[in-house]
Amino acid sequence: MGFPASCAKGLSAHTMQPTDGDELLWNGVHDRISLHIEDAEDFIAGDSNVYDLVFIDAYDGNDIFPRKLWDADGAFLRNLEEKVHPLHGTVVVNLHSDSGPSSPDVDDEAPFENVLPMGRYVSHVCRAYKRHFGLAFTVASPWLCNITLVACRDKAILKGAPVGRSCRDFVLSKLLSRSSMVEQALDLPFPCLQYVKNGFTLVE
């Protein structure tokens, strides 16, 4: 994930790009962002805020997602669970797939047909977040070999689920019903419905 350097706390002036560059790229949004360059486990332990939405993209230079950020019994997830809103709090995690595409020869005209299977490592990460937040699902981006994990409070998203209907189908239908609203709100240059529909996996 890329963020404006001018929002970072503690950076020296020579490491930062001109502020007019941030204005051009971020159009004022950067004025409402505070970036803290700090160990994630230490930061969340000492933070008193409650968040509606948390994004995690924590791969290091060796393409490793630190275990302490997905250890189900570790301090980070315990503290994060307390700092995310108890009703609608959501955590979004960028994961690099540890398993290759199921179909190496993909038709360029059918970019949504190639779904990434989850290997053992990514599955462990997903289950750890599900354990702390109640419900988790993933959406794959096969052309990037990335998987986006979404962990959220299960009571909020499963509210109104009819008896007998599968949890997977209900969650997916909720996401699809709001896809056009998200596209309009974010002014996306592409439709997101097919990406969600064909790459969706509910974490068991």
How confident is the model over 19-52, as pLDDT tens digits?
Answer: 565 665 566 666 667 777 788 999 999 999 999 9
pLDDT at 35: 75
Residue 184 banded pLDDT, cuts 50, 70, 90: confident
Rounded Cα gap, residues 17 and 78, in angstroms: 36
Taking the C-alpha atoms of residue 134 and residue 152, their distance in angstroms, rounded to an integer, is: 6
Q: What amino acid occupies position 72?
A: A
pLDDT by residue (tens digit) across 54-94? Answer: 989 887 767 788 899 999 999 999 999 999 999 989 999 98
Determine the 3-state secondary structure of 84 from DSSP: strand
- Smallest CA-to-CA distance from 112 within 120, 103, 121, 99 is with 103
Neighbours of 14 (CB within 10 A): 5
Query: Partners of 150 in the beta sheet?
Result: 92, 137
Q: Predicted confidence band at 144 (pLDDT cuts at 50, 70, 90)?
A: low
Which has the closest alpha carbon to 150: 82, 74, 84, 62? 84
